[in-house]
Amino acid sequence: MTSDRPPSTGSSTVMVLNESGVDCDAEALEHLARFLLPRLHLHPDCELGITLVDEPRMTQLHEEWMDEPGPTDVLSFPIDEMRSARSEEQPEPGVLGDIVLCPAYLRVQAEERGRSLDEELAFLVVHGLLHLIGHDHATQEEYDAMFALQDELLTEWNDR
């Protein structure tokens, strides 16, 4: 999913591509990702791709990578399996990976949750990024921890 990127310039490379045909604020998603990286104790030279796709492409990816039918809201594809640095450590540079979102699929989900499409996309960028750095929600304990961090980050983003 990633494309060739220029050499590091000392700040994270966040690339957002909207291939979905749905009008949404891709620039805001880039700003959100840049906002999140230092808060998650990730190296300033890390790389992240965010791609918005249509339902047929998301269906293809969902079936190919998750072996599940139909489209989904978000998929995360880690590359270097990066993790947040501990407070006493320096974060390592690397490639976080890719987050793939499907705005057409998200419209209904956003409405059900009482959010705008752009709010739902922001929610899922945070969710997808947390998956890229190893968070999961397979157990109730993991779910509680991941969603608490997700809520904290979104509140900080919305309150800035």
% of the chain with per-residue pLDDT over 70:
92
Specify the fold of 13-97+107-159. Collagenase (Catalytic Domain) (3.40.390)
Q: What is the DSSP string of 16-59?
A: EEE-SS----HHHHHHHHHHHHHHTT--TT-EEEEEE--HHHHH
The domain spans of the chain are 13-97+107-159
Q: Report the pLDDT value the prediction gives residue 121, as an integer from 0 to 100.
A: 97
Torsion of CA 9, 85, 126, 65, to 10 degrees: 90
Note the Cα 98 to chain centre separation in Å: 7
Type of residue at 55: E
Tokens of 92: 């390592």
Confidence of residue 11 (pLDDT cuts 50, 70, 90): low
Nearest alpha carbon to residue 70 among 82, 89, 57:
57
Residue 2: pLDDT over 50: no
The answer to whether the beta carbons of residues 97 and 42 sit under 8 Å apart is: no
Instruction: Tell me what the pLDDT averaged over the chain comes to.
Output: 89
Residue 105: pLDDT over 90: yes
% of the chain with per-residue pLDDT over 90:
78
Q: Which residue has the higher pLDDT, 5 or 82?
A: 82
Give the tens place of pLDDT for each residue, 59-73: 999 999 999 999 999
- For the residues 10-32, what does the mean pLDDT come to? 90
Tokens of 72: 């989904």
- For the residues 41-57, what does the mean pLDDT come to? 93
